[in-house]
């Protein structure tokens, strides 16, 4: 898996330096790579959550229960990949795994369940935006917020 992440970093390097001619400091380059990796993990979370939801609904599980189970599976996925590849912390500086997992769960629950639904109500009911566009607009708020919560709270060094 390390090879895949290295390949992604090389592709980003090529795109940013060779194609877009961006000059970033090493620190900013690391931040950009971390954010892109977080986005890739987020995309996998979305796919996993949706697949679990569809499969469970297909087997006649109540749709809200299916949604909750899909969310829980995606949080486990997020914790694993963020811990191993996105927000790597040296073991000597790392809090207990269950504390990080609990904070990860709370961050995703806060943005993925609570804030997402509040924003949907705002977009659809108050602003009159189509219900299929609302979740896409939410991503512009929830992804950066979730990144910051995970980086500076859930995966914060001791």
pLDDT digits (tens, 9 = 90+) for 102-158: 998 898 888 877 887 888 888 888 999 887 788 788 888 888 888 888 888 888 876
- Estimate to the nearest angstrom the gap between the alpha carbon of 152 and the chain centroid: 14
In contact, 155 and 79? CB cutoff 8 Å: no
- Position 110 scores a pLDDT of 82
57 in a structural domain = no
The sign of the torsion formed by the CA atoms of 129, 133, 137, 143 equals positive
121 in a structural domain = yes
In contact, 79 and 104? CB cutoff 8 Å: yes
82 in a structural domain = no
Residues 12-40 have a mean pLDDT of: 76
What is the model's pTM?
Answer: 0.71
85 in a structural domain = no
145 in a structural domain = yes
115 in a structural domain = yes
148 in a structural domain = yes
| Tally of domains in the chain | 1
pLDDT digits (tens, 9 = 90+) for 63-97: 878 888 888 999 999 999 999 888 877 777 777 88
Which residue has 């954010």 as its token pair? 35
Spatial separation of the C-alpha atoms in residues 119 and 34, rounded to whole Å: 26
- Residue 109's domain spans which residues? 90-158
Spatial separation of the C-alpha atoms in residues 146 and 149, rounded to whole Å: 5
27 in a structural domain = no
């Amino acid at each position: 898996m390390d090879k895949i992440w290295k390949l992604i970093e090389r592709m980003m390097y090529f795109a940013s330096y060779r194609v877009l001619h961006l000059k970033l400091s090493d620190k900013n380059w690391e931040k950009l790579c971390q954010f892109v990796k977080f986005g890739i993990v987020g995309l996998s979370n979305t796919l996993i959550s949706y697949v679990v939801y569809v499969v469970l609904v297909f087997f006649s599980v109540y749709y809200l229960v299916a949604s909750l189970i899909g969310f829980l599976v995606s949080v486990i996925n997020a914790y694993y990949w963020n811990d191993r590849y996105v927000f790597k912390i040296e073991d000597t500086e790392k809090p207990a795994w269950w504390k990080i997992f609990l904070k990860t769960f709370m961050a995703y629950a806060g943005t993925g369940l609570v804030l997402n639904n509040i924003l949907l109500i705002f977009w659809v009911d108050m602003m009159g935006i189509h219900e299929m566009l609302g979740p896409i607009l939410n991503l512009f708020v929830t992804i950066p917020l979730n990144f910051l919560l995970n980086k500076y709270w859930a995966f914060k060094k001791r």
